[in-house]
Chains A and B, each alone.
Chain A
């Protein structure tokens, strides 16, 4: 479902964008309670998708998110060398890079996809990383995937 967002004005407020955030369930403070609390706090700006390992992430997950509702899609992975399944985080990075190439070919900014690798020594919790990513994407304009359709809809009405 496409979220209703204001497209007016030059800048984009943080909460006008929708972030699809895939995260490894092995990162700290990423239980179901934390997920629900975060989604409640951020409303339609944040959609969280727990995955058993960032290596489970597939490019189609990122693309479908961008196609259907998200202005940006990110994944949170464990530090290199600290993946419970050995190399899931390395694979996630490679898949993300390839998917970035795909969206760049259709004219979408590569920055709409990203990965945050948690710190090895003092890994941060889900909420803290999610806030950082929301800040990071706040400079992006709304996704043109929804923009044209919205304009066309307004013209018809």
Chain B
């Protein structure tokens, strides 16, 4: 899941201040799960912005709508009939959603209302944690299903470092040491021998070394 958090209202208001007809556009997927850009949050933001406009005596039209996914054109196309009624779209999608909507309606400014954060997991109610960097060459097998690149603060492939204290990271004692987790897990799986291998530096060419990535699946295409 892609996680995000809403930008401060001041910043959002600054970016939309010169528009008079605004569509606040939510996304019902990842950002709804992390309570940043779903239907509820879209309604709240739109309501707060309408109140702020009224307090300033501005005549601003602010409507709200939530797409099931802002990063899929089959859903974005549902805006076709309404989007031209607005001067700008204020998107509560992740960065991918904002750009997908902007690419489809390039004549209308699409403004981000969220800061996209990381690929992560819903660990508990109200708690999201980063656990994937999208490296393009998954190594989880070797590390017992715990990614050292995402969960070790120093991204060490051959850890641990000397700063692990009682299972916590020296960067922040609130953060579990990723390498302690890896060792514990591999021990549980009777697979500690995997750590005898020395891993070469990560091949980042499979992440963004070759520029923006894409996946092509002919069997999925029209």
Do A107 and B44 have beta carbons less than 8 Å apart? Answer: no
How far, in whole Å, are A102 and B13 apart by their CA atoms in the complex? 13
Q: Is B96 an interface residue (CB 8 A)?
A: no
How far, in whole Å, are A66 and B54 apart by their CA atoms in the complex? 12
How far, in whole Å, are A28 and B56 apart by their CA atoms in the complex? 41
- 1/0 per residue, CB under 8 A from A, across B41-64: the answer is 001100111111011110000000
Do B57 and A63 have beta carbons less than 8 Å apart? Answer: no
Contact count band on A: 20 to 34
Q: Is B8 an interface residue (CB 8 A)?
A: yes
How far, in whole Å, are A34 and B164 apart by their CA atoms in the complex? 62
Q: Is A41 an interface residue (CB 8 A)?
A: no
Do B57 and A145 have beta carbons less than 8 Å apart? Answer: no
Q: Which residue of A lies closest to B59 (CB)?
A: A152
Kindly identify which residue among B8, B50, B54 contacts A105, using a CB–CB cutoff of 8 Å: B8
Q: Which residue of A lies closest to B45 (CB)?
A: A102
Kindly identify which residue among B10, B40, B44, B55 contacts A145, using a CB–CB cutoff of 8 Å: B55
Q: Which residues of A contact B50 (CB under 8 A)?
A: 67
Q: Which residues of B contact A99 (CB under 8 A)?
A: 44
Q: Are A107 and B55 CB-contacts (below 8 A) given A58-B40, A60-B40, A102-B9?
A: yes
Contact count band on B: 10 to 19
Do A63 and B52 have beta carbons less than 8 Å apart? Answer: no
Report the minimum CB–CB distance from B113 to chain A (whole Å): 13
Do B57 and A149 have beta carbons less than 8 Å apart? Answer: yes
Q: Which residues of A contact B54 (CB under 8 A)?
A: 67, 144-146, 148-149
How far, in whole Å, are A22 and B99 apart by their CA atoms in the complex? 40
Kindly identify which residue among A58, A106, A146, A152 contacts B52, using a CB–CB cutoff of 8 Å: A106
Report the minimum CB–CB distance from B144 to chain A (whole Å): 35
Q: Are A107 and B52 CB-contacts (below 8 A) given A63-B44, A64-B47?
A: yes
How far, in whole Å, are A67 and B44 apart by their CA atoms in the complex? 10
Q: Which residue of B lies closest to A105 (CB)?
A: B9
How far, in whole Å, are A148 and B57 apart by their CA atoms in the complex? 5
Kindly identify which residue among A58, A59, A60, A66 contacts B51, using a CB–CB cutoff of 8 Å: A66
Do A60 and B56 have beta carbons less than 8 Å apart? Answer: no
Do B56 and A145 have beta carbons less than 8 Å apart? Answer: no
Q: Is A108 an interface residue (CB 8 A)?
A: yes
Interface residues of B, Cβ cutoff 8 Å to A = 8-10, 13, 40, 43-44, 47-52, 54-57
Q: A59-B44, A102-B9, A108-B55 are in contact. List 13 more A-B contacts (CB 8 A).
A: A59-B40, A60-B40, A64-B43, A67-B51, A102-B44, A105-B10, A106-B9, A106-B49, A106-B52, A106-B55, A145-B54, A145-B55, A146-B54
A-B contact pairs, 23 of them (CB 8 A): A59-B44, A60-B43, A60-B47, A63-B43, A63-B44, A63-B47, A63-B51, A64-B43, A64-B47, A66-B51, A67-B54, A103-B48, A105-B9, A106-B48, A106-B49, A106-B52, A144-B55, A145-B55, A148-B55, A148-B56, A149-B57, A151-B57, A152-B57
In the A-B complex, the 8 residue pairs with the closest CB atoms = A148-B57, A105-B9, A106-B52, A63-B47, A144-B55, A60-B43, A145-B51, A67-B47
